[in-house]
Amino acid sequence: MAVPPEALAGSSAPLALVFTDAPEAMQISFTAIAVVATVNGVLIQMIMVSRIMYGMADRGRLPAGFARLSIRTQTPSVATAFVAICILGLSLFLPIARLAEWTSQIVLSVFVCVNLALIAIKRRAISADDHFSIPLLVPVCGTIISGILLVVSLF
């Protein structure tokens, strides 16, 4: 309602149009919220990737060094440092738009892999009542939807 639909349709940053005529305090607040949300997303992805690397190293799928835990925090410090260095390198040498595209594609690829792994586990595992269970349809749909979004993002 704040911006005409024609202006929104023609803008590469439609949400920013809403705040162009807003008071400066509101613009600053919106910017601060966006920065906090972005940093939060990056931190969550760093934690996710380092934990995946830790788990794979712990099972012998990656070098054992990635399975090393910090004595003080009991977190995968080597994997976390490796991920942080990779992110720093990529952010220094890639345009932010390209980095955002790759990040989305990597996350979708992880979703596809996790859903495929869940399908494999469900196909060979014996049913038990002592843990959370979902119908096979859920990871099948997750694989299909994530795969479609991944393919669409490549074009």
Residue 133 and residue 68 share a domain: no
Among 93, 122, 144, residue at a domain's last position: 93
Residue 21 and residue 4 share a domain: yes
Per the structure, the count of domains in the chain is 2
Q: In the chain, count of helices (H) and strands (E)?
A: 6, 0
Burial class (CB in 10 A: 0-12, 13-18, 19+), 12: exposed
pLDDT of the chain, 155 residues: tens digit per residue: 677 777 777 777 777 777 777 788 888 888 889 889 988 988 888 898 899 999 999 999 999 999 999 999 999 999 999 999 998 898 899 888 888 888 889 889 989 999 998 999 888 866 666 677 788 999 999 999 999 999 998 88
- pLDDT for 141: 96
Contact predicate 54/79, CB 8 Å? yes
Residue 87 and residue 11 share a domain: yes
Q: Which domain holds residue 109?
A: 95-155
The pTM of this model reads 0.66
Nearest to 75 by CA among 45, 51, 42: 51
Residue 88 and residue 25 share a domain: yes
Among 46, 70, 93, residue at a domain's last position: 93
3-state secondary structure of 18: helix
Residue 109 and residue 39 share a domain: no
- pLDDT for 72: 93
- pLDDT for 87: 87
Residue 100 and residue 82 share a domain: no
The secondary structure of 128-141 as a DSSP string is -SSS----THHHHH
Residue 73 and residue 5 share a domain: yes
